[in-house]
Amino acid sequence: MSSRTWKRPPLIKDTTWRYGLLALMALYFVAAFFSYDVNWSRVYEGLDRGWTFIKSFTNPDFTTRWTDISEGIWESIIITVTSTVVGIILAIPLALGAASNLAPKPIYYLARGFIAVARALHEIIVAILMVAIFGFGPLAGFITLTFSTIGFIAKLLAEDIENISKPQAEAVKSTGSGWWQWINYAVQPQVMPRLIGLSIYRIDINFRSSSILGLVGAGGVGATLNTAFDRYEFDTAAAIIIIIIAIVMVLEYLSGFIRARVQ
Amino acid sequence: MLELKNLGKRYKTGDDALKGVNLTIPNGQVIGLIGPSGAGKSTLIRCVNRLVEPTTGTVILNGTDITKLSSSGLRKARREMGMIFQEYALVDRLTIMENVMSGRLGYMGFWKSFFRKYPQSDIDEAFRLLERVGLDHMVDKRADELSGGQKQRVGIARALIQQPKVILIDEPTASLDPKTSRQIMRLISELCKERQLSAIVNIHDVALAQMFVERIVGLQDGELVFDGAPDELTPEALTKIYGEEDWEATIDDVDEGEENVGDQNT
């Protein structure tokens, strides 16, 4: 007696298509890879410079440029805190508008459109534009990060709002509550842990970004870092990077701790 | 008195969930609404407080046509209609007190409710109700810390603090064990008697319905096919509502007395 065999049905039924697509992908990958033009003698020279940079981490120089470093770090922290707070405050109403279960269609599309733009533009691109408008300095960085915080929080918060429990929402609505009461009693309690988690995560992201935006002149410790590289002061650059890593690690630890608490 | 006249609902998908239902419920009467899944029981009670907008017909509560109300009029009318849900529908992360007080939202302004500055008379009433349902010692617990039966008691308190004229009850015992189911149904029917409330109770458990309600209405495919006293619910009537099946066991349970009913998986 022959037993019935079974195989998992393939994703693409047609064998020609299935293997043809695989072969094409492999071909493209190989071709793409070999399009890199590697100048091996340049790499050989660069290894030396790279090694000096890495070695400088064993001997970071915090003191020579300490005034510049501390000013840069403070500026980054100021940008981080202000842009995160303002961004979240502005993101909340936008998230309400971008949640399909709350907002009427026109408002929904408007809010989703704004979010799409805010998320499509990378911070560096926005920062270049803001520097062009507001000039060099932390104000440009603050506005840049506020803008991208709005897009980030609003999108993810709106998704959480769309996933709230419908019976809970119905129950509060059925008592004769007004719209804002309904938001406050039925929606807010359900999305609060997510909002807190996202906010803390965003502090982390904004601090890391604020230490990069200086490269295009939007304030923060990035400017100091850039200057250090330009002057080949790798020991000062190493000091700055170590401070950034330390702060990010502290934030990471804090965010884990707080997120575990708010569930 | 709650009157449904020619009440119909067609969903956007084209499904006729309700096909011209006529039903009159005098003050103080508790009716059990039975019928197979998808018959339109949930839609029917949601059309009463317009959580679902009916497409045809009218709902008249003590002379007011609910279906004609503006949104602010509807909010006022909803205060008079309490609702109790299948999965309790408490807001998990709010305290018991906040959940009960959400039943008063229609009577208070936004900032008062936002800062949880409830009127003392409401707080007194909340404690009275929680005492009545046996939960006044846990007002500060979060709703998700309670057991199913306790949650449903909070749900009952939330509906009653509205001082409603009618309560709409959607499968109150579907997620509860047989013993708790009976306790909850008993509590609901006692409270309705005490306060002279009319109620529509959607319920799957026919035997349980027969024990606790005075009138049973059968809904089948969006139409009323039975309306009568619990003991008129013969195997023929059940066949009309649910379709062909051996109904003797279900009915027998009622004849044999209350104590076995809950254990039967019908």
pLDDT tens column, B79-117: 999 999 998 999 999 999 999 999 999 999 999 999 999
Cβ-Cβ contacts under 8 Å for A25 (sequence gap 6 or more): none
Is A173 close to B51, i.e. CB distance below 8 A? yes
Strand order through the sheet with B16-25? B16-25, B2-10, B56-61, B64-65
Tell me, rounded to whole angstroms, the distance of Cα A156 from its chain centroid: 12
- Spatial distance between the Cα atoms of B31 and B227, rounded to a whole number of angstroms: 10
Total CB pairs under 8 A between chain A and B? 89
DSSP A64-121: TTHHHHHHHHHHHHHHHHHHHHHHHHHHHHHHHHT-TTTS-HHHHHHHHHHHHHHHHS
Q: Is residue B162 part of a domain?
A: yes
Angle between helices B148-160 and B178-195 (to 10 degrees): 10
B interface test, pick of A177, A183, A195, A263 with most B CB neighbours within 10 Å = A177
Q: Specify the CATH number for the domain of residue B84.
A: 3.40.50.300
A242-246, B14-18, B237-241: which is most confident: A242-246
Contacts of B83 in chain A (CB under 8 A): 170-171, 174-175
Residue B156, CA distances (Å) to A155, B49, B164, B184, B225 in order? 36, 17, 12, 9, 29
Structure tokens at A118: 């805010």
Q: Is residue B116 part of a domain?
A: yes
Closest CA to A208 of A153, A249, A257: A249
Is B78 close to A174, i.e. CB distance below 8 A? yes
In this complex, is the C-beta atom of B89 within 8 Å of any C-beta atom belonging to chain A?
yes
Question: Smallest CA–CA separation between A216 and chain B, in Å?
Answer: 44
Threshold 0.90, pTM exceeds: no
Cβ-Cβ contacts under 8 Å for A48 (sequence gap 6 or more): none
Percent of chain B with pLDDT over 90: 76
pLDDT for B261 beyond 90: no
Q: Are B8 and B30 in contact (CB under 8 A)?
A: no
According to CATH, the topology of domain A83-261 is MetI-like fold (1.10.3720)
- Spatial distance between the Cα atoms of A126 and A117, rounded to a whole number of angstroms: 11
Give me the residues of B, 178-217, that contact A with CB < 8 A.
Answer: none
Q: Are A111 and A98 in contact (CB under 8 A)?
A: yes
In this complex, is the C-beta atom of A189 within 8 Å of any C-beta atom belonging to chain B?
yes
Cβ-Cβ contacts under 8 Å for A36 (sequence gap 6 or more): none
Report the half-sphere exposure of A161 (CA within 13 A, side-chain side).
Answer: 26
Q: What is the mean pLDDT of residues B175-198?
A: 91
**How many domains does chain B fold into?**
1
Region of residue A146 (phi > 0: left; psi between -120 and 50: alpha; otherwise: beta):
alpha
Residues of chain A with pLDDT under 70: 1
- For A49-79, how does the pLDDT look when each residue is reduced to its tens digit (9 = 90+)? 888 888 888 888 888 889 999 999 999 999 9
Element (H, E) at B128: helix B120-132
Q: Is residue B266 part of a domain?
A: no
Q: Which domain holds residue B221?
A: 2-243
Is A174 close to B104, i.e. CB distance below 8 A? no
- Spatial distance between the Cα atoms of B238 and A177, rounded to a whole number of angstroms: 39
Residue B262 pLDDT level (bands cut at 50, 70, 90): very low
Residue B258 pLDDT level (bands cut at 50, 70, 90): very low
- Spatial distance between the Cα atoms of B47 and B59, rounded to a whole number of angstroms: 8
Searching chain B, which residue's CA lies closest to the CA of residue A164?
B91
Closest CA to B61 of B10, B129, B7: B7
Question: Tell me, what's the pLDDT at B251?
Answer: 64
Supply angle C-alpha B121, B123, B125, rounded to 5: 70
pLDDT for B263 beyond 50: no
Contacts of B51 in chain A (CB under 8 A): 170, 173-174
Is A178 close to B110, i.e. CB distance below 8 A? yes
